[in-house]
Chains A and B, each alone.
Chain A
Amino acid sequence: MPDSDRKDNDSAAWRQSLDAYRAALACGFPQVGEVFDDCMHDALTVLSPAGVSAYLDTGRFLGGMGRGVEPVLTFLEEWPPIARTLGEEALPAIAATIRELSKSPNAKAITPFLQTLAAVARRLPSRPQIQRYLDLTLEFAARTTGSIHGIHQTFASPGLPEFFAQAPTLLDNLAIAGLRTWVDYGIRNYHQHPERQRDYFSLRSADSRAVLQRERHGTLLVDHERLLDLYLRALWHDSAQLVPYPTDGEQSPPATPYYDAGGIRLPDVLDEQHGVSAIDCYRAMLAHIAGHRRWSQPMFADNISPMQRLAVEVFEDSRIEALVLRRYPGLRRTFLALHPAPVEGDCDPQNTSCLRHRLAMLSRALLDAAHGYHDAELRKFVGHFHETMAAGDSSSEEIATLALAYIARTRCQSDQLAKVHFADTEIAYRDDNRHLWRFHERSDDEEMFDEHRPTAEVAEPDRLPPRHYPEWDYQSESYRPDWVSLYESLHPAGNAADIDRLLEKHAALARRLKRLLDLLKPQEKQRIRYQEDGSELDLDVAIRSLIDFKGGATADPRINMSHRSSGRNLAVFLLLDLSQSLADKVKLASGGEQSILELSQEAVSLLAWSIEQLGDPFAIAGFHSDTRHDVRYLHLKGYSERWGDLVKGRLAAMQAGYSTRMGAAMRHAAHYLAAQKAEKKLLLVLTDGQPADVDVHDDRLLIEDARKSVEELDQQGIFSYCISLDRKADEYVSDIFGRRYSVIDRVERLPERLPELFMALTR
């Protein structure tokens, strides 16, 4: 507050009214007294008399709430600026929210709520918007506050304070609707895990970031990677890995694009800027970087001061752009739109370091012939620059000499000042030029970007790294990104003779199957008509030709036809559910009992034998799961493996255990099946129960996910078919597979039913 004002007000009348306000606040905390003066002064400039009394009322309520001094202190300080953005009429709604929170166990969250409210208000500067934020807040509190015996709410919401702390950051990246989705996701998945809930809402967990990424506005790099890759190839004859870096506002200063041996780093998301579409911004960045890669030569930086380096970089950037524009003059419009146009005289050299401003002006002038700057030195160097460039491509070395001359000519004392003029000097599409400098000596005061620090090798268990698959969440109608980790490994081998023994047992059945198989073997013939020479006369064509002939026209001699046999063009994948329930025993009609596992082994062996006879490409894999972090996918037979002892051995070692997370396994199997070159692709799923896992409490969730994965498979042209051994399967299996399933009620007949079913399907 300006001192002069205070003097004016420092009268008895002011003191008196202040005391009256203080009495109205009725709050005895000494800390309040320290700031009350300033707060009231601020409040009086913004608020109407009615507004002031409402302000004090709310303050009184917060002070009398019995939660210490912080809530009231925060409110007194924060409200005037908020009222300036939203208008004082917003207070009742906010006060109501505070009252609501104070009645719940979440009163501790009031302070964080008030602390970031001003920042939130700046991002949601209208009352309807802030109302939606308040509604979301209350809904959040209601849904995450714990209760004992389901009657009274007793535990405070763990995520709420974290959420308030993150709200400004979140709103930087999300619209209010996106924020709601993000919150909704967190509550639904973590409302029973206080720790994970806190991680989620403080943006520490991976999926929290992933969902944020999905909901944010702007153009994502990952969605346009191919487009940009094509751009780089087509226009620049260059290719590099495009690596996104996060731009979630947590980094300061914001990172700029750069490239190194690992690829070209670009921001992960961009919005339209200055009328240039995000994709064109990306292209401008790539054009600039591609120009450097083509035309820049690195220099040694040891003898050059940081300021000189800055100047060299600006000159070099301008040289690169001049060369880029020489090739692609159409890019000038984009560059001009993205390049800031610093106003001459904006920076006062008396008390501010103007170096950046000066160089930005120069850079603008080098790009824009109609720059209109008057500075003589600047105009002179623009002339020098163009002369240098007129001779050819010039070089980094030559342009650096020019830059050093410019710095020498324009240096002034104030360049050393700590107060630097930054406005309009950031050129966002340019990279940070780290590639331009080499150091004789290792610098110890700067980060060494290129240095590779050895990291301790973590001994990985002997399996492939996981593949991540999304899972469908039917309630929000969206995928949970990278939700399931699937580990693929080779099934341990057992004794192949066991399987041979099982096959021998079914020798009679095998003979019967053989007859069926012979009928199925490829023999369809395709007719090729209109042949001059062929195996048979095509009567239709022959008659037509004869009519032509009799009518006096030239007859068509292509009156024969021939045949071509077309084989079965079918790839099959058998996916086995190896969950614990497979160990159950069933009573056999002949007396005695047998485990479903053993029956499955017999059935799969017979099926594999049958398919081998037919010659269709065929693969087998099993799966079981132990939470979403460990879905195991066991490879039994690949397409290139023959049905031999190796495969039989693996089949013999099959064991039952854990749960059934079907969706991820189907997606993984589909990725093998999709790679097969066949007209028809068939995925057979053999299961004995409904999809379930120990970390999922909602029965529908995995069923819906499996249904979704069947839909995905359909889109890839894969026909999925389920063979269920669960008598109660009718309740859910049709939800997953539609009408493409069979339930085998008498499990002991599985060995004969499975090959029969397969043959019926592929007849």
Chain B
Amino acid sequence: MTDKTQFMVVDEPFYQQQGNEVALYEAAYAARLPVMVKGPTGCGKSRFIEYMAWKLGRPLITVACNEDMTASDLVGRYLLEADGTRWLDGPLTTAARIGAICYLDEVVEARQDTTVVIHPLTDHRRTLPLDKKGELIRAHADFQLVISYNPGYQSLMKDLKQSTKQRFTAFDFDYPEAALETAIVVSESGIDQATAAQLISIGAAARRLKGHGLDEGISTRLLVYAATLIKGGVDARDACRMALVRPITDDRDIRDTLDHAIEATFAQAS
């Protein structure tokens, strides 16, 4: 049996509740319903799951999905060894065996045939057939499947199948309200309230440009980066340009506009 403790979240991650999502998640977990978290990049999806795992005291196994990922990468495979073959459980199988929360991050990135293997785990069966090994795993009573999904940048080609979508309960995340986001930035980076509020207003300006040349607005994560730089003694305007503007765009007009927003927001004296 795999060592459960290595997957435990030991320290409490900082998570600022936006609504009643914590209570709702607890209810979903109590019924062992599969959960999908949606929302733009860097709005706190992964942090939320980590926090919930800590709060519920469950081990958390995270898989970052990519387009080369195959079903075997999730389920497990036989390895060739000098004296024969050995079966190695994939992360999904491990989670099902030990009763962990299995978090498939950015699940649309994985090839569509891959996502199908999770189907039997997500309905009343709660089983995982291992074809190659000829084994049927019954999921541990504490096992729960969570996927994250960013509807923002998906192309026509990348979307979850209806049959997959309809197996999950879902949380729709968005960037937090200005006051809440300020509190998050303050608590994550330790800068003062006023500067944090200025950062948030720049973030809000950029988010309004979504669809006008920006695919995604400035994420809370980037705002925290900028605040961290400022805290470290970098000039506020330099920090914003470096952490907020340069990463998200190569479009000259947008860059100029956001640079101007930074100049306009931070008075010369600062």
Q: Which residues of A contact B (CB under 8 A)?
A: 226-227, 229-231, 233-235, 237, 279-280, 283, 287, 327-333, 530-533, 549, 552, 554-555, 557
Kindly identify which residue among B77, B78, B209 contacts A234, using a CB–CB cutoff of 8 Å.
B209
Cβ contact of A333, chosen from B209, B212, B268, cutoff 8 A: B268
**How long is the Cα–Cα vector from A279 to B256 in the complex, in angstroms?**
10
User: Which of A328, A532, A549 interacts with B70 by CB under 8 Å?
Assistant: A532
A226-B253, A532-B70, A552-B82 known; A331 and B264 CB under 8 Å? yes
28 A-B pairs whose Cβ atoms sit less than 8 Å apart in the complex: A227-B253, A230-B212, A230-B213, A230-B253, A230-B254, A230-B257, A233-B212, A234-B208, A235-B205, A235-B264, A280-B260, A283-B260, A287-B264, A327-B265, A330-B264, A330-B265, A330-B268, A332-B268, A333-B268, A532-B70, A549-B80, A554-B79, A554-B81, A555-B79, A555-B80, A557-B72, A557-B77, A557-B80
The residue that A231 contacts in the complex, of B260, B266, B267, with Cβ under 8 A, is B260
B261 touches A234 (CB 8 A): yes
Say how far A554's CB is from chain B's closest CB, in angstroms. Answer: 6
Q: Is residue B187 contacting chain A, with contact meaning CB distance below 8 A? A: no
Confirm or deny: B37 has a beta carbon within 8 angstroms of a beta carbon on chain A.
Answer: no
Chain B residues closer than 8 Å to A532, beta-carbon distance: 70, 72, 77
Given A227-B256, A328-B264, A552-B82 in contact, is the A233-B77 Cβ separation under 8 Å?
Answer: no
A331-B266 Cα distance, complex, nearest whole Å: 9
A532 to B79, CA, bound (A): 12
Which 7 A-B residue pairings sit nearest by Cβ, starting from the closest? A329-B267, A328-B264, A234-B205, A330-B264, A230-B257, A227-B253, A330-B263
User: With contacts A227-B256, A230-B254, A330-B265 known, is A237 near B208, CB below 8 A?
Assistant: yes
B223: interface (CB < 8 Å):
no
Min CB distance, A12 to chain B, in Å? 70
Closest to B207 in A: A234
Are A230 and B264 touching (Cβ within 8 A)?
no
In the bound complex, residues from chain A placing their C-beta under 8 Å from that of B77 are: 532, 557
Q: How far is the CB of B153 from chain A (nearest CB, A)?
A: 19
A530 vs B212: C-alpha distance when bound (angstroms): 39
Interface contact B265-A554, CB-CB below 8 Å = no
Judged by a CB distance under 8 angstroms, whether B258 is at the interface is: yes
B206 at the binding interface (Cβ < 8 Å): yes
Assess A329 versus B209: contact at CB under 8 Å? Given A227-B256, A230-B257, A554-B80: no
B201 touches A330 (CB 8 A): no
Interface string of B119-140 (1 = CB under 8 A from A): 0000000000000000000000
* B 42-99 contacts with A by CB, 8 A: 68, 70, 72, 77-82
Residue of A nearest to B82 (CB): A552
- Considering only CB atoms, which chain A residue lies closest to B253 in the complex? A227
Q: Chain A residues near B263 (CB, 8 Å)?
A: 330
A552 to B81, alpha carbons, bound, how many Å? 8
Q: A230-B209, A230-B254 are in contact. Are A235 and B261 (CB under 8 A)?
A: yes
The smallest C-beta distance from A763 to any residue of chain B, in angstroms, reads 28
> How far does the Cβ of B182 sit from chain A's closest Cβ, in whole Å?
15
A226 CA / B214 CA spacing, docked (Å): 13
Residue in B68, B77, B262, B265 whose Cβ sees the most chain A Cβ within 10 Å = B265
Q: Which residues of A contact B82 (CB under 8 A)?
A: 552
Q: How far is the CB of A419 from chain B (nearest CB, A)?
A: 40
| Chain A residue contacts of B81, Cβ below 8 A | 554
Q: A280 CB to closest chain B CB, in angstroms? A: 8
In the bound complex, what is the Cα–Cα distance between A530 and B78 (angstroms)?
17
Chain B residue numbers with a CB within 8 Å of A549 are 80
The CA of A234 and the CA of B72, in the complex, are separated in Å by 46
**Which residues of B lie under 8 Å from residue A333 when comparing CB positions?**
268
Question: Bound state CA distance, A533 and B77, in angstroms?
Answer: 12
Residues of A within 8 A of B253 (CB): 226-227, 230
With a cutoff of 8 Å between Cβ atoms, the chain B residues found around residue A327 in the complex are 201, 265
Give the nearest-CB partner of A328 in chain B: B264
Alpha-carbon gap, A549 to B80, bound state (A)? 7
Residue of B nearest to A234 (CB): B205
A532 and B68 CA atoms in complex are apart in Å by 11
Set of chain B residues within 8 Å of A237, measured between Cβ atoms = 208
Q: Taking A226-B253, A552-B82 as contacts, is the C-beta distance between A234 and B206 under 8 angstroms?
A: yes
- B79 CB to closest chain A CB, in angstroms? 6
Given known contacts A532-B72, A532-B77, A234 and B258 CB-to-CB distance under 8 angstroms: yes
From A230, A233, A329, A549, name the one whose CB has the most chain B CB atoms within 10 angstroms: A230
How far is B257's CA from A554's CA once the two chains are assembled, in angstroms? Answer: 53
Identify which of A329, A533, A549 gathers the most chain B CB atoms within 10 Å of its CB.
A329
Contacts of A234 in B (CB 8 A): 205-206, 208-209, 257-258, 261
Give the distance in Å from the alpha carbon of A231 to the alpha carbon of B262 in the complex. Answer: 12
| Highest count of chain B CB atoms <10 Å: which of A235, A554, A555 | A235
Contact B267 A332 (CB under 8 A): yes
Q: Which residues of A contact B261 (CB under 8 A)?
A: 234-235, 328
Q: Smallest CB–CB gap between A322 and chain B, Å?
A: 14
Complex interface: chain B residues within 8 A of A280 (CB) = 260
Other than the given A230-B257, A330-B268, 17 more pairs (CB < 8 A) read A226-B253, A227-B257, A230-B254, A234-B208, A234-B258, A235-B257, A235-B260, A280-B260, A329-B266, A330-B265, A330-B266, A530-B68, A532-B72, A549-B80, A555-B80, A557-B79, A557-B80
In the assembled complex, the Cα of A328 lies from the Cα of B198 at a distance in Å of 9
In angstroms, Cα B257 to Cα A287, docked, is 13
Q: Which residue of B lies closest to A331 (CB)?
A: B264
B204: shortest Cβ distance to chain A, in Å? 8
CA distance A233 to B208 in the complex (A): 6
Query: Which residues of A are found within 8 Å of B262, using beta-carbon distances?
Result: 330
Q: Are A233 and B267 in contact (CB under 8 A)?
A: no
Residues of B within 8 A of A530 (CB): 68
Instruction: Give chain B residues whose Cβ lies under 8 Å from the Cβ of A279.
Output: 256
Could you tell me the distance in whole angstroms from the C-beta of A389 to the nearest C-beta in chain B? Answer: 17
Residues of chain B with a CB closer than 8 A to A235's CB: 205, 257, 260-261, 264
List the B side residues contacting A332 at CB < 8 Å. 267-268
Q: Which of B181-235 contact A (CB under 8 A)?
A: 201, 205-206, 208-209, 212-213
A557 to B82, CA, bound (A): 15
Interfacial residues of chain B within 231-270, with CB under 8 A of chain A in the complex: 253-254, 256-258, 260-268
The reply to whether A329 and B80 contact each other, CB–CB distance below 8 Å, is: no
A670 and B147 CA atoms in complex are apart in Å by 44
Measured CA separation A227–B256 after assembly (Å): 8
What are the residues of chain B within 8 A of A328 when measuring CB–CB?
261, 264-265
Q: Which of A231, A329, A552 contacts B257 (CB 8 A)?
A: A231
The distance in angstroms between the C-alpha atoms of A360 and B269, with both chains bound, is 26
Nearest Cβ distance between residue A130 and chain B, in whole angstroms? 39
CA distance A227 to B263 in the complex (A): 16
Complex contacts, B266 vs chain A, CB 8 Å: 329-330
A300 to B95, CA, bound (A): 71
Cα(A330)–Cα(B266), bound, Å: 6
Chain A residues lying within 8 Å of B209, measured Cβ to Cβ, are 230, 233-234
Of all chain B residues, which has the CB nearest A330? B264
> Which of B78, B258, B267 has most chain A Cβ within 10 Å?
B267
